[in-house]
Structure 1
């Protein structure tokens, strides 16, 4: 038994259900992701806790609510801007950019 609810290990929600891993690109760097992970989970596994700046003020933003309400975690995935990292599940070959169009590193 494991976890706070004493579930069998194979039913523990904290354990990844999929062991399949694949690569995605984050700001030009190839990284490993697991099936079922969100973009936010991949970024946080890399130690990134903030990945954009607020409009005009330069304050760093990242995961805040984690349920898609606030849009603080918005970034670019496969060329599509304003994707909420907390909601988007990674797919093999995804290209993730923490910088918006026209932003430099």
Structure 2
């Protein structure tokens, strides 16, 4: 059964056990922020929490690595593309 998180104000389905990054990629969002210099798109790079390419704001806490945080029902996620940070 799929639950939903809210990403940039829109509902996004996820499967139990997925990380926020996995839910974003499964929904076709492979990039959700851009680099400071050059504005290059970023999303999941390493997938194990070593880099900082997949940063999002989760439930008001900025700088969370989407690849490490398990998705849970009613979670609110904001990306930098949504004007965060």
TM over 0.5: yes
Q: Distance in 2 between matches of 1:60 and 1:32?
A: 23
Q: What does the per-residue CA deviation read over 1:45-77, in whole Å, with 9 as the maximum and x for residues that have no partner?
A: 111111101123311111001100011111111
Deviation of 1:43 after TM superposition, in Å, equals: 0.3
1:36 maps to which of 4, 10, 17: 17
Where do 4+ consecutive residues of structure 1 move more than 3 Å?
Answer: none
* 1:96 aligned residue: 77
Q: Distance in 2 between matches of 1:47 and 1:32?
A: 12
Point out the more displaced range, 48-57 or 63-72.
Answer: 48-57
TM-score, structure 2 normalization: 0.88
Ranked by relative contact order (alpha carbons within 8 Å, sequence separation 6 or more), the top structure is 2
Unaligned runs of at least 5 residues, structure 2? none
The 5 A counterparts of 1:1-105 are: 20-99=1-80, 103=83
How many pairs are equivalent? 84
Q: Structure 1, unaligned stretches of length 5 or more? A: 1-19
Looking at structure 1, the residues matched to 67 and 12 of structure 2 have their Cα atoms a distance apart, in angstroms, of: 18
**CA RMSD for the aligned pairs?**
1.8
Q: TM-score, normalised by structure 1?
A: 0.72
Q: Secondary structure in 2 aligned to 1:69?
A: coil
User: Is the strand fraction higher in 1 or 2?
Assistant: 2
Q: Is the 8 A contact 2:20 2:67 kept in 1?
A: yes
